[in-house]
Amino acid sequence: MYYLTRQTAFEASHYNRIPELSDAENFALFGAAANPNSHGHNYVLEVMVKGDVEADDGMVINLVTLDALLKTEVIANYDHKHLNRQHPVFSENPYLQPTCENIAMEIWHRLVPSLPNQMLHRVRLYESTSNFADYYGEGSMVYLTKIYEFSAAHRLHSHALSDEANREVFGKCNNPAGHGHNYVLEVTVKGDVDERTGLVAGLNFLDEVVQKQVYARFDYKHLNIDAPEFETLNPTSENFVKVLWDVLEPNLRPVVLHRLRLRETAKNHFDYYGA
As measured in angstroms, the least distance from the Cβ of 15 to Zn ion is 8
Residue nearer to Zn ion on the CB measure, 49 or 100: 100
Range in contact with Zn ion (rule: CB under 5 A) among 25-33, 74-82, 183-191, 249-257: 25-33
CA-to-CA separations, 54 to 51, 59, 61, 123, 230, in angstroms, rounded: 9, 6, 8, 23, 53
The size of the interface with Zn ion (CB under 5 A), counted in residues, is: 1
What residue number has its CB nearest to Zn ion? 33
The SS3 assignment for 194 reads: coil
Residue nearer to Zn ion on the CB measure, 33 or 185: 33
As measured in angstroms, the least distance from the Cβ of 273 to Zn ion is 23
Q: Is the dihedral of CA 99, 103, 106, 108 positive or negative?
A: negative
Range in contact with Zn ion (rule: CB under 5 A) among 31-39, 80-88, 160-168, 202-210: 31-39
As measured in angstroms, the least distance from the Cβ of 178 to Zn ion is 9
Distance CA 133, CA 217 (A): 27
Distance CA 254, CA 7 (A): 33
- Determine contact, residues 13/42, Cβ cutoff 8 Å: no
Site membership for Zn ion, residue 104 (CB under 5 A): no
Smallest CA-to-CA distance from 90 within 192, 8, 144, 13 is with: 13
Residue nearer to Zn ion on the CB measure, 61 or 131: 131
Range in contact with Zn ion (rule: CB under 5 A) among 30-38, 72-80, 145-153, 186-194: 30-38
R_g of the chain, CA atoms, integer Å:
22
As measured in angstroms, the least distance from the Cβ of 231 to Zn ion is 18
As measured in angstroms, the least distance from the Cβ of 153 to Zn ion is 9
Residue nearer to Zn ion on the CB measure, 32 or 76: 32
Residue nearer to Zn ion on the CB measure, 33 or 189: 33
From residue 187 to residue 206, what is the string marking binding to Zn ion with x (rule CB under 5 A)? Answer: --------------------
Residues in a beta bridge with 153: 180, 222
Distance CA 205, CA 31 (A): 9
As measured in angstroms, the least distance from the Cβ of 63 to Zn ion is 29
Site membership for Zn ion, residue 248 (CB under 5 A): no
Site membership for Zn ion, residue 33 (CB under 5 A): yes
Which helix (H) or strand (E) element contains residue 108? helix 100-111
Site membership for Zn ion, residue 83 (CB under 5 A): no
Phi/psi class of residue 100: alpha, beta or left (left: φ > 0; alpha: ψ in -120 to 50)? Answer: alpha
Distance CA 141, CA 267 (A): 31
Distance CA 234, CA 226 (A): 13
As measured in angstroms, the least distance from the Cβ of 272 to Zn ion is 17
Distance CA 163, CA 197 (A): 55
Among positions 138-167, residues that touch Zn ion (CB under 5 A) are none
Range in contact with Zn ion (rule: CB under 5 A) among 27-35, 88-96, 211-219, 224-232: 27-35
User: Where on the chain is the footprint of Zn ion (CB under 5 A)?
Assistant: 33
